[in-house]
C-alpha cells in the first residue's frame, strides 16, 4: 500500500480516525476504512460459508450444503440491502454485523448490469466448487477430521493469533485454514475466489503471501520447513484448482528479507509523519490515476487541497 500510494497508507494506518472522532473529517476516514468493493465482499461471504462448513464438520455435525448455501444467500441479500440504502452512513457501528458498506454504493459506481441475484449465484457457485473439491479431494476431509489441531479462519489479533514477530512488529498471517496433522506435517490452505493467475511462481503476490504464511509454523512452533506445505485453492475458474507450495531454507530467508525490508521502509516513513516532518498536505498522491479511481479514500483525499494543486 505504501508503495502504491503514501496518502492511502496514511489514511488507513496513521490518521487516528475513529467512528466517534470529534473531527468529522476523521469520522469520514474511519467510515471509508470499512468500505469493501463488491468482489471483496462477495469473496468474504464465500469464505464465511466455507468456515461454517468446516466448523460444523469439525464438530462432527452433518454440514448440509443446501442449508449453508441458503444462509449465504440470506446474508448477502441482507448485506446488500443495508449497503444499497446507505444505512452505513447512519449506522456505521453495524457494518460487518448487520450489513455491508460497499464502495460502489458509497460512490454511486455500481455497474449498471449488477444484480444481487447474480452476485448470490456466483457466490453459491464458488461455495459449490469448494464443497465438491472437499468431497472429491483424496485426503482433505480425512486429514481435516484427524488433525491434532485446526485453525479455521482464526482471528488475526489477540493471544495465539497466527503470525510472528519481526523486531517489534507483529507479522500477521491471516490463514483461512491450517492443520497440524498427526504425522507431524503442517498444512495451510488459502481459498481464492478470484481466477487463477497465469503465472504462479516468480514473485507473484499469491505465492509470496503463502510463503509468509509458512514462516508462522516454522518460526513460532518449530516445524521443520520440509514438514510445512501450503495450498491455494482457486474457486473462480470453471473448475476448482489447487496449487501447492513448499519453502526451502533459501526461499525462507528471501521471504524473511522481503518482510524485514518492507517493515524497515514503512517504519522509516511512519517516523517522518509521527515526528511531524511530513504533513498530510505534503504526502504524495498515487502515481496512477487508476489507483485513485478504486480508492476508498478519494472523497477525503483531495478535500483539503486547492484545485490548482491537484496533479
Ligand atoms: S485518492 Fe488516490 S491519491 Fe488519494 S489516497 Fe486514494 S489512491 Fe491515494
Q: Measured from the CB, is residue 32 less than 6 Å from ligand 1? A: no
H-helix segments, the chain: 6-9, 24-33, 38-58, 65-84, 87-90, 103-106, 116-136, 140-146, 205-221, 249-274, 289-293, 298-301
pLDDT surpassing 80 at residue 199: no
pLDDT cut 90: percent of the chain above it = 77
3-state secondary structure 152-213: ECCCCCCCCCCEEEECCEEEECCCCEEEECCCCCEEEEEEECCCCCCCCCCCCHHHHHHHHH
Within 10 A of 19 (CB to CB), how many other CB atoms are there?
14
Mean pLDDT of the region 208-220: 93
- The answer to whether the pTM exceeds 0.85 is yes
Longest dimension (CA), the chain: 65
Residues in contact with 68: Cβ distance below 8 Å, sequence separation at least 6, in sequence order = 49, 52, 53, 56, 127
Between the CA of 55 and the centroid of ligand 1 the distance, in Å, is: 39
For 27, 139, 201, 237, 291, the CA distances from 233, given in Å and listed in that order, are: 38, 14, 15, 10, 28
Q: What is the pLDDT of residues 33-47, one digit of tens each?
A: 999 999 999 999 999
Mean pLDDT of the region 270-277: 88
pLDDT surpassing 60 at residue 305: no
What does the pLDDT read at residue 195? 82
Domains delineated in the chain: 18-136 (no CATH), 146-278 (3.40.1350), 280-309 (no CATH)
What does the pLDDT read at residue 202? 43
The distance from CA 68 to its chain's CA centroid, rounded to whole angstroms, is: 22
List the grid coordinates of 119: 452476485
Average pLDDT, the chain: 91
What does the pLDDT read at residue 309? 46
Residues 210 and 191 sit within 8 Å (Cβ to Cβ): no
In whole angstroms, give the CA distance from residue 63 to residue 66.
Answer: 9
What does the pLDDT read at residue 308? 45
Report the nearest-CA residue for atom 3 of ligand 1: 285
Mean pLDDT of the region 67-72: 98
Between the CA of 100 and the centroid of ligand 1 the distance, in Å, is: 22
What does the pLDDT read at residue 304? 53
What does the pLDDT read at residue 248? 93
Q: Measured from the CB, is residue 292 less than 6 Å from ligand 1? A: yes
Least confidently predicted of 83-87, 92-96, 116-120, 195-199: 195-199
Q: Measured from the CB, is residue 15 less than 6 Å from ligand 1? A: no
pLDDT surpassing 60 at residue 307: no
Q: What is the pLDDT of residues 7-28, one digit of tens each?
A: 999 999 999 999 999 999 999 9
pLDDT surpassing 80 at residue 210: yes
Burial 197-211 (b: 16+ CB within 10 A, else e): eeeeeeeeebbeebb
pLDDT surpassing 80 at residue 310: no
Between the CA of 285 and the centroid of ligand 1 the distance, in Å, is: 6
Amino acid at each position: 500500500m505504501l508503495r502504491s500510494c503514501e496518502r492511502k497508507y496514511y489514511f488507513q494506518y496513521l490518521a487516528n480516525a475513529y467512528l466517534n472522532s470529534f473531527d468529522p473529517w476523521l469520522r469520514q476516514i474511519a467510515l471509508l476504512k470499512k468500505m469493501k468493493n463488491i468482489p471483496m465482499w462477495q469473496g468474504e461471504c464465500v469464505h464465511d460459508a466455507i468456515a461454517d462448513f468446516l466448523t460444523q464438520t469439525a464438530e462432527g455435525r452433518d454440514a448440509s450444503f443446501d442449508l449453508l448455501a441458503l444462509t449465504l444467500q440470506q446474508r448477502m441479500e441482507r448485506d446488500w440491502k443495508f449497503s444499497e440504502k446507505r444505512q452505513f452512513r447512519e449506522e456505521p457501528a453495524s457494518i460487518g454485523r448487520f450489513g455491508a458498506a460497499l464502495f460502489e454504493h458509497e460512490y454511486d459506481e455500481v455497474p449498471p448490469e449488477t444484480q444481487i441475484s447474480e452476485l448470490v449465484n456466483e457466490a453459491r457457485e464458488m461455495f459449490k466448487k469448494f464443497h465438491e473439491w472437499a468431497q472429491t479431494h483424496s485426503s482433505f476431509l480425512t486429514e481435516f477430521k484427524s488433525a491434532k489441531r485446526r485453525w479455521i479462519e482464526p482471528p488475526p489479533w489477540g493471544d495465539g493469533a497466527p503470525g510472528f514477530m519481526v523486531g517489534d512488529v507483529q507479522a500477521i498471517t491471516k490463514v483461512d485454514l491450517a492443520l497440524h496433522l498427526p504425522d507431524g506435517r503442517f498444512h495451510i490452505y488459502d481459498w481464492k475466489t478470484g481466477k487463477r493467475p497465469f503465472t504462479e511462481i516468480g514473485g507473484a503476490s499469491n505465492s509470496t503471501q503463502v510463503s509468509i504464511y509458512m514462516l508462522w509454523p516454522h518460526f513460532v512452533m518449530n516445524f521443520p520447513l520440509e514438514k510445512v506445505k501450503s495450498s491455494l485453492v482457486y474457486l473462480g475458474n470453471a473448475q476448482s484448482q489447487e496449487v501447492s507450495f513448499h519453502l526451502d531454507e533459501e526461499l525462507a530467508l528471501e521471504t524473511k528479507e522481503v518482510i524485514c525490508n518492507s517493515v524497515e521502509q514503512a517504519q522509516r516513513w511512519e517516523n517522518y509523519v509521527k515526528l511531524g516532518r511530513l504533513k498530510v498536505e505534503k504526502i504524495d498522491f498515487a502515481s496512477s490515476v487508476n489507483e485513485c479511481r478504486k480508492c476508498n479514500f478519494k472523497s477525503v483525499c483531495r478535500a483539503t487541497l486547492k484545485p490548482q494543486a491537484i496533479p
